[in-house]
Homo-oligomer: A and B are copies of this chain.
Amino acid sequence: MSVMKSIKGGVTASKGFRAAAVFAGIKASNKGRDDMALVASEVPAVGAGVFTTNRVKAAPVRVSRAHLRAPHACAVLLNSGNANACTGPCGISAAKKLAVATADVLDCGLRRVLVCSTGRIGVPLPVEKMVSKLPELAARLSAKNGGAAARAIMTSDTFVKEYAVEVKASGGTFRLGGMAKGAGMIDPNMATMLCVVTTDAKISKGTLQNALHTAVERTFNRITVDGDMSTNDTVLALANGASGGVSIKAGSADHQLFADALHEVCLKLAHMIVEDGEGVSKFVTVQVRGASSLQAARKVAEAVANSTLVKCAWAGNDPNWGRILDAAGYCGVRIREELVDIYYDGVAAVRGGTAAPTPKQQLVAAVSGKRFTVTIDLHQGRAFYTVYTTDLTEKYVELNLSE
């Protein structure tokens, strides 16, 4: 019997969470599509967050990080169309004003409100316009509007990203669901990416923070579309205990179930972000094994997954293993060329650093698929690492000629 099953919905799949979306006209070119979203817990929740490691941090990142030091969190206000990044002290004031106004309409403490922004960098946030929409946004809060909120945070995303699971734990059943947006600037250590996860399990703030950190490290930090890490990357988690009986104690069997559920939801959302990368036509899993250390495995995997030439070859259905070996060679890891094997979907392309006797057509067939796995065995040790990435298409360049 499986204890975890996928259920419908995202941030409102967990009990006691409501969401809403509204159109505020944050970006001039946005014609009527909702661009503000709110996620709120009916009872005080505990919050956790993992943020961009970029030295350039958007104002909402700085404000949310500070607010998360408070014991409880109630709501997350999000917007698309403007990142409120590189906006100086005015940007910080704007993010704080939004938090204050949201706390007002929800009648909760200021520091219980977290804020997220995504969109263009360096443009002042139209904060008055946004504040004027908050009463309407709050009035729309409903357990049915999780999907509408997920849609409102999209930028160049082409589909809504939400996922949720239900878990039968020993203490009872709990739910865990989330929404995310991605598209450009997707790289390990996160991206132009926002994600909000909710759960109705009861868990301490510290245990939630540790679980979120681990889940992000193994999911969102292993995806890359273009190698550019953004200023706004944020993953937030709220746990409100509304499921009743279930209390997750660190080290218990239920704690493991909770970690698995969080991993599953983050992984599914991370994969959706890669699949929806700008102009992407293929989903590629890069596995490195036989490395002398985790760090070495990671460096090789990321170099291959970010190589412009490797990604162009994939777009052209070219199983160009020379470019893969080249990238593995320049990433700073002391690989031994003559030991390296490379496989496309298990079919050997390289054995011992040189061409395997596989008919080229077989390799072309593998790389022509919409999803395939490249495995690089360094034969130097036992460490392994996996990165999820994409090809690089003319469409990607076209989409990014200007914003």
Contact = CB atoms under 8 A, between A and B. Distances in A.
A187 B332 CA distance: 14
Given A55-B333, A86-B322, A394-B394, A403 B313 contact: yes
Nearest to A333: B55
Interface string A50-68: 0001111100000000000
A330 B228 contact: yes
In the complex this chain forms, how many copies of it are found? 2
Contact of A337 (B57, B189, B226, B313): B57
A365 interface: no
B121 A88 contact: no
A185 B402 contact: no
Contact of A122 (B91, B307, B322, B397): B322
Interface stretch (A73-81, A258-266, A350-358): A350-358
Nearest to A317: B402
Given A308-B228, A397-B394, A403-B320, A56 B185 contact: no
Contacts of A396: 312, 397
A121 B323 contact: yes
Nearest to A400: B312
A89 to B, nearest CB: 9
A337 B56 contact: yes
A86 B350 contact: yes
A309 B401 contact: no
Contacts of A373: none
A42 interface: no
A6 interface: no
B330 A53 contact: yes
Interface in A357-403: 392-394, 396-398, 400-403
B353 A86 contact: yes
Given A88-B338, A88-B353, A56 B328 contact: yes
Contacts of A228: 307-309, 323, 326-327, 330
Contacts of A86: 321-322, 325, 337, 350, 353-355
A57 B179 CA distance: 45
A316 interface: yes
A231 interface: yes
What are the 6 A-B residue pairs with the smallest beta carbon separation, nearest first? A316-B401, A121-B322, A56-B329, A312-B400, A318-B402, A88-B354
19 contacts: A54-B329, A55-B337, A56-B335, A87-B354, A121-B326, A122-B325, A184-B309, A228-B307, A228-B323, A228-B326, A230-B326, A308-B400, A312-B400, A313-B400, A313-B403, A316-B401, A316-B402, A320-B402, A397-B397
